[in-house]
Amino acid sequence: MFQPRPIVSMYFPPFLVVTLMGTFKVLVGTMALTDMKIRNAKPEAKQYKLSAGLGLYLVISPKGGKWWRIRYRFGGKQKELSLGTYPTTTLKSAVLKRDEIRAMVADDIDPAVERKTEKLYKHAASENSFKAVADEWFTKFSSEWSEQHKQRTIGRLRNDVYPWLGSKVINTVTAPELLMVLRRMESRGAIDSAHRVRQICSQILRYAIATGRAERDPAADLVGALPPAKKTHFASITEPKAIGELMRAIQGYQGSYITACALRLTPYVFVRPGELRQAEWNDIDLENAEWRIPAERMKMKVLHIIPLSKQALAIFEDIKPLTGRGKYVFPSNRTLARPMSNNTINASLRRLGYTKEEMTAHGFRSMASTILNEQGWNRDAIERQLAHSEKNGVRAAYNYAQYLPERKEMMQAWADYLDGLAKGADVIPIKSNS
């Protein structure tokens, strides 16, 4: 029986028919590959492929996973690259990536080598990012800082700097970019914090220069770019009659005995609140009437000596039977293992009826500084007793005992003056002649 031959075979030889039909199937398969077809592709017992044409294909694994691959030839060798998984990488995205790779090959660039180079660059960039260098700087230098300073510094970096500059290669950070970070802080009224963040960034950038990862410090260009920070003065009482009233209120405090002793001691020694609450018995020399605070617990990281007046000594002797067997002079009311809260003195002043606008724990320092200067005591001795910063760090390390005889005389005169005001007297202590 006569069987009609396919039209194609009537005009082309058999071997060409096979080639044309294969090409036709590939073209039809490519044209037919759609997102719907991909979504509907079911896993089979063995891995199989769906071609998207021009070397791009989708692999379907027996477990149902689908990932894109592309084959290309470079330097006479067959090569293959992964282009991501479906549906994260869509058909459209995969086709765009395929076309980019084909364009690179046409420009005599090996996509595999280019991808490896880019990966190495990204790795190097992440190691030299602002955040990576800043974290390294923080780890290296923060071991000597107080816990409060540590938390404040890393908090400023995490909240105000890292979100905008953290991922940038540190050597590419510019002054305008850093200024935008500071302007955001300025816009919410945190001008003092903005100045401090500029200083922190400058330290980080100088560290990057020292370690060969930056060439200059753009933060230095921003000096003067922000409005001056408003100096905040701690509320303090400096009028003698009011000081007398405060001293009488302190002497009549009815709270816990530990808190009462700490509150009574504060005006006599006028140390920073954190230094008072962390006072340790090992630092107190009752025999020589001295309190020596180690450098690591001082803001300026220099040993500080407080000559103890007779009044201050009496307070230490009063509380020693209660807390002397522990570490802290003024432990927490909840546990002897920790010092009292950093807000204890302020809370006590509020309990006595003094608002934060009238008096603070830090205000006793301003009180002493104001009155002692008015009374004519040596300004340098006062500054040394307040443990204010010495610009020359080396000099400061050796000058902790500077003016010590005069300071001993001054501290006793100061305590006597306070007691005189508490009794209602108009006390004018003898000025130092040294």
**Residues 409 and 432: beta-carbon distance below 8 Å:** yes
* 388: annotated active-site residue: yes
Given 362, 384, 400, 417, the catalytic residue:
362
The Cα 113–Cα 117 span in angstroms is 6
Q: Mean pLDDT over residues 227-251, rounded? A: 84
The Cα 209–Cα 141 span in angstroms is 16
397 has a pLDDT exceeding 80: no
What residues are paired with 60 via a beta bridge? 48, 66
9 has a pLDDT exceeding 80: no
pLDDT for the residue numbered 10: 45
pLDDT interval class at 1 (50, 70, 90): very low
pLDDT for the residue numbered 125: 54
268 has a pLDDT exceeding 90: yes
Amino acid identity of residue 131, one-letter, is K
Distance of CA 25 to the CA centre of its chain: 62
Q: Mean pLDDT over residues 398-402, rounded? A: 65
The Cα 384–Cα 402 span in angstroms is 7
Q: Mean pLDDT over residues 309-325, rounded? A: 96
* 207: annotated active-site residue: no
- Residue 396 CB burial class (10 angstroms; 0-12, 13-18, ≥19): buried
pLDDT interval class at 124 (50, 70, 90): low
405 has a pLDDT exceeding 90: yes
pLDDT for the residue numbered 126: 57
**Token pair of 179, please?**
């200024």
Q: What percent of the chain has pLDDT over 70?
A: 84
The Cα 170–Cα 129 span in angstroms is 5
Q: Mean pLDDT over residues 113-125, rounded? A: 67
Q: What is the mean pLDDT of the chain?
A: 85
Q: Mean pLDDT over residues 62-91, rounded? A: 90
Q: Mean pLDDT over residues 171-198, rounded? A: 91
**Token pair of 219, please?**
């933060």
Q: Mean pLDDT over residues 149-173, rounded? A: 92
* 398: annotated active-site residue: yes
47 has a pLDDT exceeding 60: yes
Residues 241-271: b if buried by 16+ CB within 10 A, e if exposed = eebbbbbebbeebeeeebbbbbbbbbbbbbb
Amino acid identity of residue 2, one-letter, is F
The Cα 93–Cα 84 span in angstroms is 10
Given 184, 299, 350, 351, the catalytic residue:
299
Own/partner pairs, 85-93, CB within 8 angstroms, 24+ separation? 86/38, 86/58, 87/39, 90/35, 91/33, 91/34, 91/35, 91/38, 91/52
The Cα 409–Cα 308 span in angstroms is 10
**Token pair of 370, please?**
């104001």
34 has a pLDDT exceeding 60: yes
Given 66, 131, 272, 304, the catalytic residue:
272
Residues 100-136: b if buried by 16+ CB within 10 A, e if exposed = ebbebbeeeebbeeeeeeeeeeeeebeebbbbbbbbb
Higher-pLDDT residue of 76, 220? 220
**Locate tokens 């530990």: which residue?**
258
Given 49, 248, 388, 395, the catalytic residue:
388
Q: Mean pLDDT over residues 96-113, rounded? A: 88
Q: Mean pLDDT over residues 351-357, rounded? A: 90
Who's near 241: CB < 8 A, 6+ residues apart?
A: 421
Who's near 172: CB < 8 A, 6+ residues apart?
A: none
pLDDT for the residue numbered 424: 83
Given 119, 257, 398, 423, the catalytic residue:
398
The total of other beta-carbon atoms located within 10 Å of residue 149's CB is: 12
pLDDT for the residue numbered 263: 96
Measured over the CA atoms of residue 344, residue 347, residue 353 and residue 359, the dihedral's sign is: positive
Given 131, 277, 304, 365, the catalytic residue:
365
Q: Lowest-confidence range among 9-18, 46-55, 325-334, 422-431?
A: 9-18
Amino acid identity of residue 217, one-letter, is D
Distance of CA 424 to the CA centre of its chain: 49
Residue (of 125, 154, 129) closest to 139 by Cα position: 154
**Residues 302 and 387: beta-carbon distance below 8 Å:** yes
Could you say which DSSP state residue 408 is in? Answer: H
First to last CA, the chain: 137
94 has a pLDDT exceeding 80: yes
pLDDT interval class at 228 (50, 70, 90): confident
Q: Mean pLDDT over residues 72-81, rounded? A: 89
CA dist 269 → 144, 386, 389, 432 (Å): 25, 9, 18, 18
Q: Lowest-confidence range among 181-185, 244-248, 422-426?
A: 422-426
Residue 9 is inside which H or E element, if any?
helix 7-11
